Amino acid sequence: MRWRLPVRRVTGDTTSGTIENIVAVEDQNIRALVPLPNFDQRTPHYRLLKFTYEADQDLYRCPQGQLLLRSHRKNSEGTVVYRADPTECNACPIKAACTSSDHGRAVHRSFYTDYLERVRGYHATAAFTRAMNKRRVWVEPLFGEAKEWHGLGRFRRRGLWQVNVEALVIATGQNLKRLLRKRGWRRRPWPNGAPETAPAGRRPLDLPRFWPSFV
């Protein structure tokens, strides 16, 4: 980093709050102040939050008090599967609200649940509230401007290097607009007017020889 300042917090939107990003950031002792997507199972039945995890026995307990024991790992999904006894599930009076399977209700626990719980704990802190407020005021308007006025809704180039260049060019255009607004967007003291005609106390703006077409 240019200024060699220690990074203590990272802020992003829900799209940035993936498990991969959270793990990578937290492993570097940086707080991931990001909203969490809905990692819960997408099902019309009871969600995972309805079930209580008992860490000492490594099992879940359903709303009716029945146990879901550890069944197997799904390495491709990064989860551990816990399943209830089919006999108890099929006889349960609220089975229709819990599962449509005759093989017992199953829930999935992420390998990285501890990371997610840590980040969820940040949501109740003042630092998280401040970070979200700053992002809403400082960052989101710039993203919206870049998409609506500078075509950043979709990159025209392909490849990481070219995408980075395109994003930097657009960001440069946004910065130039703000500089001109502060230093004389409407007065244009140079080259239309002599440098010495600039308002008192304001230095004349040295514009580039070729005016950027994206401004």
> Which residues lie below 8 Å from residue 166, measured CB to CB, with a gap of 6+?
155, 156, 157
* Dmax (CA) of the chain: 90
**Exposed, middle or buried by CB within 10 Å (0-12, 13-18, 19+), for 180?**
middle
Residues 59-100: tens digit of each pLDDT:
999 999 999 999 999 999 899 999 999 999 999 999 999 999
Residue 205: CB atoms within 10 A of its CB come to 17
Task: Determine the pLDDT at residue 26.
Answer: 95
Residues 95-117: tens digit of each pLDDT:
999 999 999 999 999 999 999 99
With beta carbons less than 8 A apart as the criterion, state whether 174 and 180 touch.
no
Cα(87)–Cα(96) distance, rounded to whole angstroms? 15
Name which of 155, 171, 152 is nearest 163 in CA terms: 155
pLDDT band at 149 (very low <50, low <70, confident <90, very high): confident
Neighbouring-strand partners of residue 158: none
If DSSP codes are grouped into helix, strand and coil, which group holds residue 59? strand
Task: Say if residue 163's pLDDT is above 70.
Answer: yes
> β-pairing, 59-61 with 79-84?
unpaired
Torsion on CA atoms 169, 174, 178, 183, rounded to nearest 10: 30
Q: Give phi and psi for 53, each to the nearest 5.
A: -90, 130
Task: Determine the pLDDT at residue 212.
Answer: 43
**Does the bond joining 204 to the residue before it have cis omega, within 30 degrees of 0?**
no
Write the single-letter amino acid at 84.
A
Name which of 40, 73, 77, 43 is nearest 58 in CA terms: 73
pTM: 0.66
With beta carbons less than 8 A apart as the criterion, state whether 82 and 70 touch.
yes
Count of residues making up the chain: 215
Task: Determine the pLDDT at residue 14.
Answer: 87
Cα(182)–Cα(139) distance, rounded to whole angstroms? 19
With beta carbons less than 8 A apart as the criterion, state whether 107 and 48 touch.
yes
Token pair for 118? 């840590």
